[in-house]
Amino acid sequence: MAIDTHGVKIEDRPFDQVRQEAIDQLIMNYSHGVISAEAFERRLDVASDATSFQELIDVVADLSLQPDKQYQQQRDQSFTPRYQAGNDTRNEKIICVLSSNRQNGQWLVPAEIRVINVVGSVVLDFSEAIFQHQNIVIRVNNWIGSLTILVPEQVNVVSNMFNIIGSTDNSAPSIGDRQAPQIVVEGYSILGSLDVKLKKTIKEKFTAFADQCRAMFGLNKS
């Protein structure tokens, strides 16, 4: 049986921890060519949507490879937010009037970002960002504009917006641990919108990571 059922009863373990263990085993076996891409995607759907321990046990019951040290290092590198030590505490101001502004790629995130958006469109993409601080504040003045914040699942986002005929939608799951960056969005939006969402769904990110691991072992997707 692929999932370890020795020691603490599996029913007494945190369900999300067991789910992650099953997904890691799926990725490990797919990356080594034990199962096909179709089988991996089908089983990943089952593991992602599972509501019982038995489903997780069954989905990896016939898989023999266990995640090793190299896999864990690769996973930590891919799923851990990047921090860079430095003394750069400068704040950043983004002014967008009747135009659009997009911040993405491997950009250095300051402790505070001020966004003034007037009938414009602003996108802040944190999916590849390099953090210098654990706590980041985004202060928003949004007039008939749209602000979209894209984050990876290990970054926590808290929204404290005041809306006047506007909307705020925070659909990021905020499942980062205590060491994860936390972004606080505060300010007001008048006839505007604020959307906080994942750049990729968790399933898409696991699939991309699995293909990355497979390429590392010299296997093409098949």
**77 and 89 share a domain?**
no
Provide the pLDDT for residue 8.
Answer: 74
**74 and 87 share a domain?**
no
Range of the domain at 139: 83-198
Mean per-residue pLDDT over the chain, rounded: 84
Q: What is the pLDDT of residues 94-134, one digit of tens each?
A: 999 999 999 998 898 999 999 999 999 999 999 888 888 88
125 compared with 218, residue with greater pLDDT: 125
Concatenated DSSP letters for the chain?
--S--SSS-GGGS-HHHHHHHHHHHHHHHHHTTSS-HHHHHHHHHHHHH--SHHHHHHHTTT------HHHHHHHHHHHSPEE--------EEEEEESSEEEE-SSPEE-SEEEEEEES-EEEEE-TT-EES-SEEEEEEEEES-EEEEEE-TTSEEEEEEEEES-EEEE-------TTS-EEEEEEEEES-EEEEEESS-HHHHHHHHHHHHHHHTT----
- Provide the pLDDT confidence category of residue 148 given band limits of 50, 70 and 90: very high
- Provide the pLDDT confidence category of residue 155 given band limits of 50, 70 and 90: confident
**66 and 93 share a domain?**
no
Question: Does residue 163 lie within any of the structural domains?
Answer: yes
Q: What is the pLDDT of residues 57-99, one digit of tens each?
A: 999 999 888 888 888 887 777 777 777 776 665 788 999 999 9
**110 and 174 share a domain?**
yes
Q: How many distinct structural domains can be found in the chain?
A: 2
**91 and 182 share a domain?**
yes
Question: Does residue 4 lie within any of the structural domains?
Answer: no
Q: Output the pTM of the full model.
A: 0.66
